[in-house]
Structure 1
């Protein structure tokens, strides 16, 4: 499969072209982007993540997250020899999820090039989720009971929707789930990020892996709330027999006593 051609979000095209940010090398050369995480040095290369505040051309300012990757490829059964750049995989997943209505971080720009030394560079720019916070930043016990149940419901239903649309995240940590409270709706807006391992699932084990990974790494979530989350994920008023089997499987995985 061919590498996707350069992508620029239509709403951002005038702003990026006016700043000459319509090719990957220009993003790499930006002097005022701020490193936001430790470099990822896996898969034989490197990836750096930066943040930059930028006007979109309509007097609205946004945080943009810039992933810059060099010579970083991950092998898979579909790409066993050379592998595939993880940013290419993530861009494909973001695009596919958006087409099917799965709420994810919105890509603004994607491009790649090979420099004079033969090094491969990929750049993926995503719109920051301003006003959102990740699940690992939320103190669950401190939430009012009704708000906590709504959070469990909205995250469970959104993950179910992602799975029903055919996608498994396959690396689902609380830090990859962002939420924002919408007072007028009395609901949480839920988005997923970091889709570099996301693809169409081929078996239920991938769905179970998402559930296990999210449950295992969620802190200060009671056993009762874990069961509530499962109930919302399964879209049942109470746990069915299948739901109880799934709950017992998760309990064994998480070593509940």
Structure 2
């Protein structure tokens, strides 16, 4: 019998791995070939009306000294999601995940709730934000992005694929102008580093190269805020 090595339910009445595997939705990321297998993402609607995203993988593996023969990347992504949540970094809510072998090949699933009201950083700078992007709102965005990434890196986690399309932003309106929230997606390349500086250098260099429509002036504001958070927290982090 194939061994079910990872299985989690947000609610006890949710379907088993086989039933989740049979569910089909609209492809938002068509299956692509990589890592010796294929991986894609479908959009689903739940009975409660909640929008879900299902990542479906076949033979899509990562290898490490702990797993020289390969393990599904979904398992590494779930580990990262839980670790980042403990660091108070917003990530999608986990609904279900599982991985098992079928005819000698790994199948894996990851189901998460949609980030309602969020747009990608790429869309934000393209003018797709639900709210008009004032200078103050944009400053809040850069501050929250700096805070989010400083928490990530001080925890010695490197995102590994830090593009604007994987950074999501939401404006919470209020009478005083509201506040901005930042979330991170696509964590399957996320990994722990021995030192925070290595995680920081690689992610920030990658984000800078792919920042797209983000103006240079905004980048400088972000970096200044990021460095302030790092300097303020790092001494306490070292003592811990």
1:86-235 equivalences in 2 (<5 Å): 86-115=73-102, 117-139=103-125, 143-184=133-174, 186-203=178-195, 204-235=197-228
Q: How many angstroms apart in 2 are the aligned matches of 1:216 and 1:224?
A: 15
Structure 1 pair 138/160, CA: closer, same or farther in 2 (3 Å)? Answer: same
The alpha-carbon deviation at position 62 of structure 1 amounts to 1.2
Q: CA RMSD in A?
A: 2.2
| TM value normalised by structure 2 | 0.84
> 1:4 Cα shift?
5.2
TM-score scaled by structure 1? Answer: 0.79
Question: Paired residue for 1:72, among 45, 50, 60?
Answer: 60
Alignment deviations for residues 10-37 of structure 1 (CA, whole Å, 9 cap, x no partner): xx434x2xxxx2x222122124x11111
**For residue 82 of structure 1, what is the aligned residue in structure 2?**
69
Structure 2, unmatched stretches of 5+, are 232-240
Q: How many residue pairs get matched?
A: 221
In structure 1, C-alpha distance between the alignment counterparts of 2:50 and 2:18, rounded to whole Å? 21
Query: Which entry has the higher C-alpha Rg, 1 or 2?
Result: 1
Mapped to 2, the partners of 1:65 and 1:140 lie a distance apart of 24
Unaligned 5+ residue runs, structure 1? 240-257
How far did 1:206 drift?
A: 2.1
Structure-2 residue corresponding to 1:5? 6
Contact 1:3 1:88 in 2 (8 A): no
Match of 1:255 in 2: none
The SS at the match of 2:69 is strand
